[in-house]
Structure 1
Amino acid sequence: MKTFVLYGIALFFLYSCGPASNNSAETETAEEETSTAEMTAVVEETSDNTLTEQERQEGWTLLFDGQSISNWRGAHKETFPEQGWKIEDGELMVLASDGAESQNGGDIVTESEYSNFEFQVDFKLTEGANSGIKYFVTEGYNSGASAIGLEYQLLDDEKHPDAKKGNNGGGTRTLASLYDLKSADASKPFKGIGEWNTARLVVQGNKVEHYLNGEKVLEYERGSEEYTDLVKNSKYEKWENFGMAESGHILLQDHGDLVYFKNIKVRELPAS
């Protein structure tokens, strides 16, 4: 009787352990496959100067692949500047030149013009740096320096004196602001000097939105009463129909300070 009981117990453990071992192996295999898929997705999402399959399907165009400047030229020029800009390690850099505005390599603009669009770029500021992303640039204004256009300001707010200036009040020349017109939210999520941050513009019709690191920090409407009043009080008051072009180039500014750019892309949006 004891022998029978022991034999039954042995059979119980044998059958219990067998399937569990198989299930464990199957679970480990599934986890490995999931981990591999997740790693592949991460690689696709984080590779610099490339588009994911989803982005391609959404209509994004890469404006910088880490090597070529074929989508860009100098403002008021037919070719890319021979000095003042540099490509290194997949990063596009505007070089330092004593803080002079557009007096070294000069600004660069996209070959194409855009009207309804979404634009995104990763940027890294150095200490005290000043630059900008301009849009609706038509090159029709004879400014004698930097090309004229609406500007998403790039600035070291802590070290650059422009942060305390502005014809529409102090703060209208700070990071992510609509330069000299409207301030970005004071609580904007800036990651810091020497860190990569992401600027994004969304333009549909006359409605414009500025984003910093995924958070909307400013919005306005071109041609509105508010906008018209802001322009009248700004340094742009002398430029007729400032910022009201139906389409224009996107510009990266040379303001004489070292600033890095990568992952530059754009997509056209339907008219609102």
Structure 2
Amino acid sequence: SAGLYDEARRGWLYPMDVNPAGQNAFKKDAWNKYRIECIGSSIRTWLNGIPCTNLVDNLVSSGFIALQVHSIGKNDTPGKQIRWRNIRIQTSNVKPSKADNIFVVNMIPNDLSAQEKKEGFSLLWDGKTTNGWIGAYKDTFPAKGWNIANGELSVDKAAGGESTNGGDIVTVKEYGPFELKFDFKLTEGANSGVKYFVTLSEGNKGSAIGMEYQILDDLRHPDAKLGKDGNRTLGSLYDLIASKKIANSTRPIGEWNRGFIRVNKNNKIEYFLNGIKVTEFTRGTPEFNALVAASKYKDWKGFGMAPKGHILLQDHGDRVSFRSIKIKEL
């Protein structure tokens, strides 16, 4: 309750998985007090005084206020009611409420809101240049295989091979615990990934070694059916842990998806897809080590346990685009 959903257009913009405190604000069988604040591109909600959502979005700037009658299933129990009271609105002399500290969903490409800056986020890619990025196992950014246009950083379509065209790109800087936001857009049958704790110490062929947030067209790419129990599908910890498959959590091919990786100081790692938590694990535990031992990474000593490493965008020979790449060091 108090999450933000874009009806008949973009679906969930701010589901409450990214704000656990807000998830618990609703009171069953009691009156709940909602507050919605829309000022410019800022949309925020509160429930019973608890901050629930903080969205930055400039798609529309005005519209009707509506009270919804949702679909009623044939097996629903008769007599259910939703009641409203004390509906009030202010449209003049409106001033923003004081800043909170909840997760910000920013739908404006390559933009940092004031609160994101306050929380410590910075742009990992500036939306225009190759600054801060080089090719994996290279001293410079790849001369081919990647292109920048219209605020998008894209892998060029090649033969679908792993790092055989331009090759992977990595951050110049290494990172330990962090929060990473990124938008990605797939083409039909495409494969890519975001890797982290990439040390570039292995000197291997193909894609550089690191833990991976899998980016894949599950319906059309054969990798979705390989591995074990779906652990190579979209949002999975690649080849180790399958992501949860939750209805309406994925945008159609050709539309932008929002990825989020949180690497906590206690080694707990969480993956989110469009605001919904799809994968969770703790590196270094016996369970994690057993998964590594049964994976394609079994021969890489200490896989996933580096204290810090580069962040990597994968070239798998398919057209995939990125934007709004932001990081906060913890």
Same fold, judged at TM 0.5 (above): yes
Instruction: Answer 1 or 2: higher relative contact order, Cα 8 Å, separation at least 6.
Output: 1
Structure 1 residues 123, 45: CA separation in 2 closer, same or farther (over 3 Å shift)?
A: closer
Q: Which residue of 2 aligns with 1:185?
A: 244
Question: Structure 1: which 5+ runs fail to align?
Answer: 1-34
Q: Does 1:95 align with 2:96?
A: no
Does residue 170 (structure 1) correspond to residue 229 (structure 2)? The answer is yes
Partner of 1:194: 254
SS for the counterpart of 2:40 is helix
Could you tell me which residue of structure 1 aligns to residue 40 of structure 2? 39
Aligned positions of 1:45-124 closer than 5 A: 45-124=106-185
Asked if structure 2 preserves the Cα contact closer than 8 Å seen for 1:163 and 1:170, the reply is: no
Structure 2 match to 1:215:
276
Q: Counterpart amino acid of 1:75?
A: A
Work out the CA distance in 1 between the residues paired with 2:120 and 2:286: 33
Q: CA distance change for structure 1 residues 98 and 136 in 2, over 3 Å: closer, same or farther?
A: same
> SS of 1:132's equivalent?
strand
Instruction: Please identify which structure carries the higher helix content.
Output: 1
- Write the distance in 1 (CA, Å) between the matches of 2:106 and 2:310: 27
Which amino acid in structure 2 is aligned with residue 257 of structure 1?
D
Question: Which whole-Å CA distance do the structure 2 matches of 1:210 and 1:40 have between them?
Answer: 27
Cα deviations by residue, 1:196-222 (Å, 9 ceiling, x for unpaired)? 000100001311101000011111111
Q: What is the CA–CA distance in structure 1 between the aligned matches of 2:210 and 2:300, rounded to whole Å?
A: 10
Shift of the 45–213 alpha-carbon distance from structure 1 to 2, 3 Å rule, reads closer
1:101·1:255 contact (CA, 8 Å) conserved in 2?
Answer: yes
Q: Distance in 1 between matches of 2:159 and 2:243?
A: 27
3-state SS of 2:39 partner: helix
Q: Trace 1:258-269 onto structure 2 (pairs within 5 A).
A: 258-269=319-330
Judged with a 3 Å threshold, the aligned counterparts in structure 2 of structure 1 residues 198 and 40 are, in CA distance, closer, same or farther, namely: closer
Structure 2 unpaired stretches of 5+: 1-36, 43-56, 59-104
Deviation at 1:65, TM superposition (A): 2.3
TM-align CA RMSD: 1.7
Alignment of 1:238 with 2:238, yes or no, is: no
Code of the residue aligned with 1:228 in structure 2: it is N
1:82 is displaced (CA, Å) by: 0.5
SS at match of 1:92: strand
Would you say 1:136 and 2:137 are equivalent positions?
A: no
Q: Structure 2 CA distance, aligned partners of 1:77 and 1:142?
A: 11
Counterpart CA distance in 1 for 2:137 and 2:123 is 23
**Cα gap change, 1:45 to 1:151, in 2 (>3 Å):** closer
Q: Which amino acid aligns with 1:38?
A: I
Identity %: 53
Distance (Å, rounded) in 2 between the aligned partners of 1:177 and 1:45: 23
1: CA distance, partners of 2:260 / 2:245 = 17
Aligned positions, number: 233
For residues 143 and 128 of structure 1, what CA distance do their matches in structure 2 show?
26
Distance 1:229 1:46 in 2: 39
